[in-house]
Structure 1
Amino acid sequence: MFPPEKREYELVYYGKEREEDIIANTMAVPLQPISTFGRNGDENAWHNMLIFGDNLQALKTLLEYKKAGKLTNADGTPGARLIYIDPPFSTKQDFHGTQDQKAYQDRIAGANFIEFLRKRLVFLRELLATDGTIYVHLDYRKGHYIKAILDEIFGEQNFVNEVVWQRSAAHNDPYQFGRIHDVIYVYGLSSQRKFSRQYIPYDEKQLARFKYDDGDGRFYLLDNMAAPAHGRATPMRFGKKVLDPPRNMMWRFSQENINKHLEEGRIVFNKNGVPKFKRYLGDMQGALLQDIWTDCIMHMSSKVANYPTEKPEKLLARIITTSSNPGDLVLDAFAGSGTTLAVAEKLRRRWIGIDCGKLAIYTIQKRMLNLKTEIGSKGKPLAPKPFTLYNAGLYDFTQLRQLPWSDWRFFALQLFGCIDKPHKIGGIELDGTRQGYDVLVFNHVANPNKRIDDETIREIHSHIGKRIGRKFFIIAPRGVFDFQQDYIDLDNVRFYALRIPYSIINELHHRDFTALQQPNDENAVNETVDAVGFDFIQPPQVQWTVSAKKRKGQMFTEACLKIKKFESRARLRGKDTRGGLETLSMLMIDLDYDGKVFDLDYVFYATQLQADDWQAWFPVEKVGKKVMAVFIDIYGNEAREIIPTEQFGIERKRTKPKKRTARK
């Protein structure tokens, strides 16, 4: 799994962990399905996956899926055939655009970012199919460091290309050359990787070479029939002539093909008697694509999701077509605005997208439900294949208790980083191991009225106390335990109570756990997040009012939502915390909620709302029968409110409701 430790050189920095420690110390997080969009009639068929959560933990879970044979391409081969990532790599970049644009602006801190990305690259290597390819999209700020890291992780021998992508037109910078390109590093796991050559249209200079015409309107060029060679070359017969190739050259055509092309009139002789081959412009695919891409610049008019760092669909279509086939699995661990997923869907690939931002998740959901058939968001509407939205590391405990026992057991083991390994000691069925010690998951489904008290622990100890190690773990819902302490010592054994939904007991782990922080202004939308544990959904408490009125200094009436009170709750570093309006991240609005799918229309960041006395304004004429407001705190928890139009004091009839795909 891990390359040799000894290398000629490597990038060294503070906090760099061993690869095996990264794999071992990262907790897998069970994926809790939230919504399924579309149906295919077969519950066992593949569903594309959109995952909200820390991608490091989600990648560990996906690695478990791969090992279990649940992560395959259409041909059955395990792992992702193609991985593309566009991690947050800029530093407080200034983007030009309107206030409505959902700006990605990145914050990076030297070695922290390098190790942040390195950890994920270790898992991505393990998730890649043996003939797969990974594309890592960066710029001048950190690209040179990450190139060294990629050489370490994938091996220099597996480096394929450094693609230079021109992302914008020329800049008029007064003190430097215009910075108008990004780099995309391409690596594989072997020389057997999938690669389909790509072609681009000829430029004027190339077209000028097709200058000959036999009078039928078909232009052609005269191409050499010989190629460089070593050693003695074989002469070939051209009609009545037998010709040797030029010195140090060989004929590129077999005798059979030479005879065929002579009959077709495709071979002519120049004035020196040298044979030339007619290549017709109409038969050519175009110029072979090289590693400098200047033909898919990102223009504001071509944006689909209104993210300033959104990449053009044409760019992703080129990458996906080059390194995968229809039915192959495409993975993007920094899904952002969802371009990779949208293009994968259009090109009939399977896909998995991960992001830690609620705004990104809702933006992707909206995008996938409003696809067009052609690249560049053109053509007829395209209904996506079924996909499921999952929470990773953020769970609704009321739903978890309703899970079937097998799913609950899996969740409990993964929650506390246990190895799923059923075994029996002294007649007691155990579920796995943790840190090398035995684990019992309490079956509250089979024993709904049973409690775990001191006597229960003593009974277990009497049966197996002498046959287990120094530690024994019992996982159960918090309310099942009748004692308050975190462990009970009996003889030389410490029996730990791992309570759900308590965060991990700090004594058992190297570090504390925290929730996925959400941004409260545009400048922090794409800030890197490196979570290390679980959190549980605790919806914030919100008081609000709505009305239809004129803003100060404005002529027209607008719909207004005013937040009167906001209170969030979260469990951070083992402690329950509360906060007020300062913990509000953003407000999202669907102006015409259909009762099934939240279709994002507007997003208001906390900084915007605070500047306007915690008010959000939107056009009255766009308000449908029902409005859904989603209030999100900085921990990722959300409260949803459905607001009938009448509450605004307006009457509105929509003649064309938004078209959406119902969820399962």
Structure 2
Amino acid sequence: MTELRWEGKYLPDGRRATPLRLALPFQTVETVNESAQLRQDQYSLFAQGKPTEWRNRLIWGDKKYVLPALLPELAGKVRLIYIDPPFDTGANFSFTATVPAAPAGDEDDEEVSGGTSFTKQPSVIEQVAYRDTWGRGLDSYLQWFYETVVILRDLLTEDGSIYVHLDWHVAHYSKVILDDVFGYENFRNEIIWYYYNKFQGNINRFASNHDVIFWYSKSNKYQFNKITEKRGETVKQIKRVWSKEKGSIVNAKDSFGQVQYIETDERTIDDVWRLSMLQPADKIQNVNYPTQKPESLVERVIKASSNEGDIVLDCFCGSGTTAATAEKLGRRWVTCDLGRFAIHTARKRLLGIEGVKPFAVQNLGKYERQQWLAHQFSEPAQRAAQEAAYRDFMLQLYRAESLPGYAWLHGRKGRALVHIGSVDAPVTEGDIKATLKEFWQAAGKSDGPQTNTLHILGWEFAFDLNDTAQRMAAQHKVQLSFYQIPREVLEKKAVEQGDISFAELAYVDVQVKQKARTVSLRLNDFVVNPDDVPNQARQAISHWSQYVDYWAVDWDYQGDTFHNQWQSYRTRRQTQLALETPAHLYPQPGTYRVMVKVIDILGNDTTKQFDLDIL
């Protein structure tokens, strides 16, 4: 039997290597466009143990964890999968971002012309993903692709379909794997996307002006809706009908035996799709994201192999084309991506759709970290020993030395003392109080550390902790800094190569304007660590607001999930950003907690929350 083999396909004992099937629970970090009434209805259903209403889902995370996590809920329920996986060994996850023009004046939100584009290099987590995919060349790509499509097949309904978008680099290898996973007999079409308007330049070969899309069904029963398109002019065609006697389509004839003709201005679409590529000048659909595909292409896929209300999945979200097109066509959708900037781009794109249905932004959060902790450090049953090993590991990555003899102070870096936050809980005000207390107890000892600088490292931080903790630290005359533990530490290869960087938390200042039960908010300042911003972008920034790409407000934060109830953001067509919200009217008196989320031009988010007394 003919077989495609690659390094890693089989384990040393001869068994076939299989994908990870660890089903971690999702954490909903934000809901978008959800009304207060719908939020309350969801709470009520959850409290009664009943299924909550469907929400479309935008998931930030590695698909090797995300796809297995979807299985308990969605196995056998997804009608259509469209994926556009990386198929070029030169792809490296970099993207072009833009520094918007500076405001014309402090009291005017209008912006002067200008704006600078720069290339944002991939994050370490994206570099690791690239190495996992192409690190051993074609061998690692084929194993990565095989493990992905095995899980995807399990998610499909019995009459479901998968469309895999590739080009000449790996299409021929990938088709053999698809034949293996889905069955040669379930191959339906090789679709050619001919992008006639791509300029190739001066090359010494035939221009490469097409991609291929392989369509496979899960079984011999599958959904297919014929698609037509308008012709440039009406044409005369022979009428074709089905003949029961011959068991085939034949020319229609009248009672005199004459062939019949019809006139039509439509044609049935075949397997060669002549569709334009996105053009740089297109500021409506083109979001300036590399690998972005036109909606007209994905629209054909969705219309052909799904109906309204069906679930459509894309685990290579990118700019969000599949989700946006599915939304416009009345389908339910789930999409995920490893890149933070991809998730942010897709969120803005979806918000630009008139009447977009509520959707959730999710990740695997602390559950992924807990799993990493259990695998990374020995003695999982001995919690204290495990946590000590975890803190020593973090200190090593932070290039700090251990500081024994303390409960809350874990290390020293130069003149700064260091506290390491827990894996499965955010750093809280209580943690800061205890650390500051121990800090001064240590400083009071004759042999204690002589410093007034404290660094707090954490995976997550209690909302508005930066403001509160800085006030506490000032009272104690301590210079306090917060640093984010990057997700990259979960990746062994990133750690081995020293690709770990701890970024200092940004700070946002919000002015509250209140009159009776009416409130508006204004962004007054946004401070980021300049070392985290590429030099080219930093030089183009003359006003703090140029760092802000998006900000949103939850007017009644309930302590669980950020409910996005108002937002302002920049697009290629609309580069201006409103720095003040419209007036928000609270229906009832009471104390309300408000949360503000700010996302910078690199896709990083910062939050701030405060209480309002509405009389």
Shift of 1:276: 3.9
Contact 1:29 1:415 in 2 (8 A): no
Instruction: Name the residue aligned to 2:34.
Output: 39
- Pair 1:16-2:9 in alignment: yes
1:225 touches 1:275 (CA, 8 Å); kept in 2? no
- In the TM superposition, 1:196-215 aligns within 5 A as 196-203=225-232, 207=234, 210=235
CA distance in structure 1 between the partners assigned to 2:31 and 2:250 by the alignment: 60
Counterparts of 1:20 and 1:620 in 2: how far apart (Å)? Answer: 57
Deviation at 1:655, TM superposition (A): 8.7
Stretches of structure 1 lacking an aligned partner (at least 5 in a row)? 1-7, 68-77, 211-220, 234-247, 260-272, 372-381, 398-411, 418-483, 488-495, 506-514, 516-533, 545-563, 629-651
What SS does the aligned partner of 1:301 have? coil
Displacement of 1:66 in angstroms is 3.0
- 5 Å matches for 1:381-460? 382-394=354-366
In 1, Cα distance between the equivalents of 2:313 and 2:215?
A: 15
1:65 equivalent in alignment to 2:93:
no
User: For residues 414-466 of structure 1, what are the alpha-carbon distances to aligned partners after superposition, in whole Å with 9 as ceiling and x for unaligned?
Assistant: 9979xxxxxxxxxxxxxxxxxxxxxxxxxxxxxxxxxxxxxxxxxxxxxxxxx
The structure with more helix, counted as a fraction of residues: 2
Is the 8 Å Cα contact of residues 82 and 330 (structure 1) preserved in structure 2? yes
Q: Which residue of 2 aligns with 1:275?
A: 258
Report the TM-score, using the length of structure 1 for normalisation. 0.53
Q: CA deviation at 1:174?
A: 2.5
Equivalent of 1:617 in 541, 560, 584:
541
Among residues 310, 314, 327, which one is paired with 1:345 in the alignment? 327
**Structure 2: runs of 5+ lacking an equivalent:** 43-51, 99-115, 391-396, 398-422, 427-457, 467-479, 513-518, 553-575, 585-594, 598-615
Per-residue deviation, residues 75-121 of structure 1 (Å, max 9, x unmatched): xxx42100011112213269998873778999533211111121111
Q: Give the distance between the partners of 2:164 and 2:318, measured in 1 at CA.
A: 14
Tell me the amino acid that sits aligned with residue 361 of structure 2: L
Residue 501 of structure 2 aligns to which amino acid in structure 1?
T
Structure 1 CA distance for aligned equivalents of residues 54 and 385 of structure 2: 30
Q: Distance in 2 between matches of 1:589 and 1:129?
A: 47
Could you report, residue by residue, the CA deviation over 1:114-160 in whole angstroms, capped at 9, with x for unpaired residues? 11121111100000111101011111111111111111111100111
2:350 maps to 1:368:
yes
Report if aligned partners of 1:592, 1:657 keep a CA contact under 8 Å in 2.
no
The one-letter code of the counterpart of 2:340 is K
State whether residues 568 and 580 of structure 1, in contact with CA within 8 Å, keep that contact through their aligned partners in structure 2.
Answer: no
**What is the distance in 1 between the residues matched to 2:504 and 2:166?**
28
Match of 2:238 among 223, 234, 238: 223
Distance 1:62 1:583, change over 3 A: same
The amino acid across from 1:10 in the alignment is E
AA aligned to 1:486 is E
Match of 2:117 in 1: 100
Cα distance in structure 2, aligned partners of 1:224 and 1:653: 57
Partner of residue 583 from structure 1, selected from 501, 505, 530:
501
> Is 2:118 the partner of 1:118?
no
Gap change, CA 1:607 and 1:622, over 3 Å in 2: closer
Q: For residues 261-300 of structure 1, what are the alpha-carbon distances to aligned partners after superposition, in whole Å with 9 as ceiling and x for unaligned? A: xxxxxxxxxxxx652434233xx5x111111111242222
Q: Which residue of 2 aligns with 1:51?
A: 59
2:22 to 27, 33, 36: 27
Compared with structure 1, are the counterparts of its residues 579 and 152 closer, same or farther at alpha carbon in structure 2 (3 Å cutoff)? Answer: closer
Query: Which one of the candidate residues 259, 272, 295 is aligned to 1:292?
Result: 272
One-letter amino acid matched to 1:369: L
Aligned residues, how many?
Answer: 428
1:192 aligns with 2:108: no
TM-score by length of structure 2 reads: 0.56
User: What CA distance in whole angstroms lies between the structure 1 residues aligned with 2:210 and 2:505?
Assistant: 34
In structure 2, distance between residues paired with 1:143 and 1:357:
24
Contact 1:52 1:358 in 2 (8 A): yes
Output the CA distance in 1 between the equivalents of 2:180 and 2:237: 47
Q: Is the contact between residue 33 and residue 388 of structure 1 (CA under 8 Å) also seen in structure 2?
A: yes
Distance in 1, matches of 2:581 and 2:138, equals 48
* 2:188 match: secondary structure: strand
Contact 2:161 2:218 in 1 (8 A): yes
Partner Cα separation in structure 1 for residue 226 and residue 319 of structure 2: 27
**Partner Cα separation in structure 2 for residue 593 and residue 110 of structure 1:** 54
- Counterpart CA distance in 2 for 1:606 and 1:91 is 32
Structure exhibiting the larger radius of gyration computed from Cα positions? 1
TM-superposed deviation, 1:331: 0.5
CA gap of 1:575–1:141, structure 2 versus 1, over 3 A, is: closer
**Equivalent-residue separation in structure 2 for 1:171 and 1:653 (angstroms):** 37
CA 1:171–1:252 in structure 2 vs 1: closer, same or farther (change >3 Å)?
Answer: same
In the TM superposition, residue 198 of structure 1 has moved relative to its aligned partner by: 1.0
